A and B are shown apart, each in its own frame.
Chain A
Amino acid sequence: MDTAYLIETIIKVVVVLLIFSALAGIGTYFERKILAFMQRRLGPMNVGPYGLLQVAADGIKLFTKEDIIPTNVVGRIFKIAPVITAATAFMAAAAIPFLPQFELFGYTVHPIIADVNIGILYILGIMGVGLYGPLLGGMASANKFSLLSAARSAAVFISYEVVTGLSILAPIMMVGSLSLIDFNEYQSGGFGDWIVWSQPVAFILFWIAAFAETGRTPFHLVANDHEIIDGFGTEYSGMRWGLFFIGEYANMFFISFVIPLLFLGGYGDGSFLGALGLLAKMSFFFFFFLWTRAAWPDVRPDQLMWLCWKVLMPIAVINIVITGFVMMF
């Protein structure tokens, strides 16, 4: 492994970390604004022009707040849990090609940190590990509502891992590779080549499961909204709570990248227009997360389980079987 490659990778890691930590902050601004507009409010207006500096104010608040470790919590696990959430969210980013490769000062940059040939498996696996953040945080909190929420989110995450995995299996069979770059190449022919046309069911299943994986409304069961407390994060304060938050928003951004890469042609042929297209698609999926939050109510946990095991999983299996038959004959 030569030095140039090492330096390039480190630079890419730092850039991705910085951009997406900042985006996670700005994401909260977008979320507040869009939710506000949809509910005919104005949202944050006072800090900076149109409330733009609200993000900075929140950041300062989170960083300077006292880091409270309550009595009776299991200290070490309590402290490490938010780090797991944030770290796994960013680790998943390693296998995502954010842009097509481009030339910078005569040097070809691949905007993917590691083009591992099991990219999708890696991303799903890391996102699965992300479950330990809420789970350990809730279990270590010495608060029964945190514990309830942690158990519930664990159940949701594990169940919807199944749907995610099964729904993605059919496209993987068609492409014959687990690398996101290969997925993109497969669809690079243009609009008609998008996998969503041949696998609409898988697309919708994956999209639905993405809501559960990121814990967003209508599957926002990680927070105990109906118990009027904030779920597994109840006992957390300051930057530890902020890490949970950054993890959640970074996850939303990464999933919003993964869905178009898998189903909607990614960055297409790799031209500048294709790159813009990927960003536009990503923005739409991120916007959709906020949109549903304004429009839809949360479902009950039992309804969520019912949806997963009795509806989505059978459909995913049938989809795989049909895909297999079509490919065989």
Chain B
Amino acid sequence: MKNTEVFNNRNVSENGYYLVDIADYPTDGWGKFKRVVKRTFRGELFVGLWVVLREMIKFDIHTIQYPQEKMPIGPRYRAVHEMKRLWESDAERCIGCGLCEKICISNCIKMDTRIDEHSRKEVSEYTINLGRCIFCGYCAEVCPELAITHGGEYEQASEQREHFVDYSYMLTPLDKMKAGTQVEFEGFGSITPHEDERVKKTPLAY
């Protein structure tokens, strides 16, 4: 997919913007008459005709047929949430700390935890009401385990305003994990690239 637009240069003065040269409007009858004659014989209408005909012949269609084809979206796009697994053990990353539930500004995360048979804290209930979610990304940012992140799935339809997705829906499936195709989220809350080189040892001796 070729990148068709330069996103990072927002400096309008360098992008070929210029003031359009607009002549003064004629005030007297003779001036108006001259303008009419000039416009009539300058053939501007044919320029317009040629432009659209050229586009038709070139047949460079710039639309996509949406349900069959989709535009690629950026890796930082904040769509429906995903729950990630650990690369080493395929275990769920979420530790049930509840920070995401706490920070969610539209109160749409609801979760419950329990102590499982290994005496570890485990998520027993976890739902997000996408009807309320504003996709702000706070939950992904606050998560200490990089467990809850955003995904790229933006097509969600439901019959009512409440639309819940639960833990099993968001969790990366095991077969995907086995195939090693889980994608790390690059956006809000993720660790920055080359973080290993920049991390410092905690100074123990004062």
Contacts and interface: CB of A to CB of B under 8 A. Distances in A.
Interface of A: 34, 37-42, 45, 291-292, 294-296, 311
B63 A291 contact: no
A262 to B, nearest CB: 23
B62 A40 contact: yes
Nearest to A297: B48
Given A40-B60, A40-B61, 5 more contacts: A37-B55, A38-B53, A39-B55, A40-B55, A42-B61
A37 B56 contact: yes
Contact of B63 (A34, A41, A294): A41
A41 B61 contact: yes
Contact of B52 (A45, A294, A311): A294
A269 B36 CA distance: 41
B59 interface: yes
Give the 4 A-B CB pairs with smallest separation, nearest first.
Answer: A38-B52, A295-B48, A37-B56, A294-B52
Contact of B65 (A37, A45, A311): A45
A34 B56 contact: yes
A295 B52 contact: yes
Contacts of B157: none
Residue from B49, B52, B63, B65 having most chain A Cβ neighbours under 10 A: B52
Nearest to B51: A295
23 contacts: A34-B56, A37-B55, A37-B56, A37-B61, A39-B52, A39-B55, A40-B60, A40-B62, A41-B61, A41-B63, A42-B61, A42-B65, A291-B53, A292-B49, A295-B45, A295-B48, A295-B49, A295-B51, A295-B52, A296-B45, A296-B48, A296-B49, A311-B36
Residue from B45, B56, B60, B62 having most chain A Cβ neighbours under 10 A: B56
Contacts of A45: 65
Nearest to A46: B65
A291 B45 CA distance: 12
B66 to A, nearest CB: 11
A294 B52 CA distance: 7
Contacts of B55: 37-40
Contacts of B60: 40
Contacts of B63: 40-42
A76 to B, nearest CB: 43
Nearest to A34: B56
Contacts of A294: 52
Given A38-B56, A40-B60, A291 B49 contact: yes
Nearest to A306: B36
Nearest to A40: B62
Contacts of A37: 55-56, 59, 61
Interface string B38-71: 0000000100110111011001111101000000
B21 to A, nearest CB: 20
Nearest to B67: A46
B18 to A, nearest CB: 23
A297 to B, nearest CB: 9
Contacts of A295: 45, 48-49, 51-52
A42 B45 CA distance: 25
A45 B53 CA distance: 21
B44 to A, nearest CB: 10
A295 B65 CA distance: 24
A307 to B, nearest CB: 10
Contacts of B61: 37, 40-42
Residue from A39, A292, A295 having most chain B Cβ neighbours under 10 A: A295
Contacts of A42: 61, 63, 65
B124 to A, nearest CB: 45
A314 to B, nearest CB: 13
Nearest to B36: A311
A294 B56 CA distance: 11
B50 to A, nearest CB: 8
